[in-house]
Amino acid sequence: AKQAGRNAFRFFTPAMNLQVRRRLELDSALRNAVTRGEFVLHYQPKVQLAGGHVVGFEALVRWNRPGHGLVPPNDFIPALEESGLITEVGRWVIAAACEQISDWSARGIDPGHVSVNVSPRQFVTGDLERDVLGALANHHTPLGALELELTESSLMTSTEATIATLTHLKDAGVQLSIDDFGTGYSSLAYLRRFPIDKLKIDRSFIREVARSSDGDAITLAILRLGHSLELEVVAEGVETAAQLQYLRRHECDQMQGYYFSPPLPVRETERLLLARPTL
């Protein structure tokens, strides 16, 4: 065995090598994407149980990567989270949503509330409170229009700092919801400690609704829990009339999913809003 330590790369198979190279390319392309402004937001309507009116939207990021078309978030958010760039992109998402809300509102278009997704990393390393309050002030965003979708893992470490941040955001009129509820940490104690407004039932449970009794049971349990704590409950990933019927019967407050509409680019979102739709 000659010079074992000399060339560590000899342990990489060609396939691993390609994987590593691709990853390095992705990271560098993402760094450029931030400075070049290659991200865009699409908006998926949320529909109210009563009347089927559109009461808000979830803003979902896409990467308009040159030569690759529109890249979905699952293909790049994990890389952003690992490299820490998510803090910067997350800040852009918050600012872009606030700017869009204000732009619509200046033109007499009312989108209702607009929610943005917040990564756990933004909580820990970023300055979420400053980013949000700064964006609201910069863009003169109407009070109560912005909502943050937090994950259970963001709320796992229940420090005084977390409570203070959430309380300050709440005081500034920001609504708080817990995304993918039921898939994360199992302690429910934080629901009483934090000023939460809404629970979003994860798509994996909605998929089982009206199909298996276990799926029904979890969805039902979340609806009951949410309502007994006086929280609004939102279902994501609603795809069928049977699911809609079930959720109606059990008084789910808001629904979101391909059954109503996929996430839409800005122009199509405006067209939808101007038509004052019932979906």
The contact set with ligand C2E (CB under 6 A) reads 44, 60-61, 72-74, 77, 90, 93, 116-117, 119, 179-180, 203, 236-239, 257-258, 263
φ, ψ (nearest 5 deg) of residue 38: -95, 5
CA quadruple 81, 83, 84, 90: dihedral sign: negative
Subset of 140-159 contacting Ca ion (CB under 5 A):
149
For residues 22 and 56, the answer to whether their CB atoms sit within 8 Å is: no
Q: How far is CA 22 from CA 18, 46, 226, in A?
A: 6, 37, 43
Would you say 29 or 150 has its CB closer to Ca ion?
150
Subset of 219-278 contacting Ca ion (CB under 5 A):
236
The rounded Cα 10 to chain-centroid distance in angstroms is 42
Q: Which does 134 bind (CB under 5 to 8 A by kind): ligand C2E, Ca ion, none?
A: none
Subset of 106-125 contacting Ca ion (CB under 5 A):
117
Can residue 180 be called a binding residue for Ca ion (CB under 5 A)?
A: yes
CA distance 147 to 117: 9
Min. distance of Cβ 198 from Ca ion in angstroms?
11
Min. distance of Cβ 183 from Ca ion in angstroms?
7
For residues 21 and 246, the answer to whether their CB atoms sit within 8 Å is: no
Q: Which residue of the chain is nearest ligand C2E when measured via CB? A: 257
Min. distance of Cβ 94 from ligand C2E in angstroms?
9
CA distance 125 to 22: 26
Contacts of 257 (CB under 8 A, 6+ apart): 203, 206, 235, 236, 237, 238, 239, 243
Subset of 203-222 contacting Ca ion (CB under 5 A):
203
**Cα 11–Cα 13–Cα 15 angle in degrees, nearest 5:** 150
Min. distance of Cβ 181 from ligand C2E in angstroms?
11
Min. distance of Cβ 124 from ligand C2E in angstroms?
13
Residues that bind Ca ion (CB under 5 A): 117, 149, 179-180, 202-203, 236
